[in-house]
Chain A
């Protein structure tokens, strides 16, 4: 008998297709957006976890700035000296340290002389040690890395196009680099970096286009001087460091901070109000995760509102249906339907709307999720850099589909309770007389 009453409620839905469809929309939007959010969430999370596995989780950036949350590094505040780098290297949980000397350029040209600058933008180059490429996980695709105290640079793949496609830069080419202070340095390109192969989330902050040794590019540069013109001490704004292993990242961070805050040169050179800041990869990834969960919470709460509105829609249409079918209800009671038969007839009907809304919402959510992942992947490609090599996988979280369908039914039942009770409580005599 339950099966028959169930089938009858299906008939009622089928006989009002448009009404049923319109009622479904609210539930579909609600359930669909939950599925989209959870699909995007689980896919991106897996992507980040995968990247995290490729990433060298031991890397960190050391700078001067504000130790707030999130911490801020002021790239222009110089303070770390070569002596500091030596001392940090000696710390027990630190494996490697490399400086980054930020070198603003006036331009780059192919020939010496009073020619017009041929490069479009000066940009920056990094003066550093070959260790930096290791810490950042950058690989040389062609040629070799630069050597200290030589006029050698490595450039990124995109830099080879600096002078256009027909004048592509190659290993062994000579270029003239002019610093912002006017000094012209004749340099040889010794290596080309492999594109998008960095395993370091931090390198997203400082994408390398050109790098060379500290000496000669940075050591005689006025921007590197701290403590007044007579001291002439070369100092850096940023250091890259690597911990000995994943488990000691925080130890290394604490050792570095305690050294910097006690015996370092940098403590004398930095502004009194500035702090030393160490940002680990773990921190960056936890931030990404945090942003994602805030986003998904936001969208989920919007979806909840839409589900509630959908539920109200169901309740509304069910009340209308009950009123419209008053005489039918009276008839059914006359021919032997008990109150609970009438109750279940309408409860089935509303829960079927919920179930259908849940299923359709899952289908629409699944395709919407796939669409969003596709857009994200396209965006990653256009963004370039570290993430462009990866592809966000499409991961559906099965439990959310089940939860969504279950939720659809629950909303259907909840919305149907009052109208169904109204129907079941009708007086058969009055109901039969209803016009």
Chain B
């Protein structure tokens, strides 16, 4: 899991003049456009460090993925409106993830990704690969500074490492204020180079799952390159209303498969997986092949967000439309409402709606005896599903003036396989069970 999104830029504010306050606001808003996740504007009276830390638990039901994540973002403010931000994330992951095969009316045995052992899924259950366990460490660094009176420049770098994956990225963004700093236009670019070194090496796309100790259909390390470009406009409309409009282009090329995902090979009439005795007790009990995705993906995203202040309460609404050349379209609506309940305490309900269509090469299974398609994946994340997140955050100021908060949220995914893809007995099985997860987070900001 994870992302280089923790690259963070600060924004400037001095208490010397109103103009610099407006600059700070403009910088803060435009900072969002290219950097991923900027820090909020803070009135900085002197240079120094401040820290934003969080401990997050993410847990899926049914023994699926569990993640415990520690995050620290440190920011050094300099007197001349320059900022250095350093981020650290450590994730500890355990649990099981769907391997892509369909449930069957009898038990199924699969070879583990390492090729060293097998695991068995009981009848009528969704096959889960329970072998993954990983620790991920990610670091980010960024520098932001003004360029002249109206420009802001930020540059950053990110890197992460886990057992089977490494990432390195660079990013930069330039923003300019117009119209008494009520309008900010920005452009950003990010490049990343990632390397995959899967457990048991990389399976060849659409190659069959083999028995234990047979890695003959595996190849070596693979790489992925990603280019992201973001253009944005931030506009202040009134003293209580601010909006942002972004267009993002993303081009990923290279190895884009999930090396641990497979598809069932099924009978064209019954829809049942084809049994095999080829491997005895030392390999799969039915035919499966590893997934295969195109080696390029181009995404376009349109994002807009509004923040509206209503006598102490703040409404935060955003919408994103994403479309890509894998023919996935998605819509995301996010609503937050910050509601002060005293001078030092607030609650913030949050609700998020998400829906996506399936990739053109999404297949619930492949039919035995038919020619293999060029690309196929049964990864539920490329399927047709809706998701909803609902939760509440409670925040308060400590006696020392620092900020703490706790949030609890629930996430549910409900998917469906396109009806034309289900065959025979598949129609009576729950091939795409809901995913339910809980998100619990504690945050502490201090040092400013």
Please say whether chains A and B are actual partners in one complex.
Answer: no
User: Interface of B with A (CB < 8 Å)?
Assistant: none
User: Interface of A with B (CB < 8 Å)?
Assistant: none
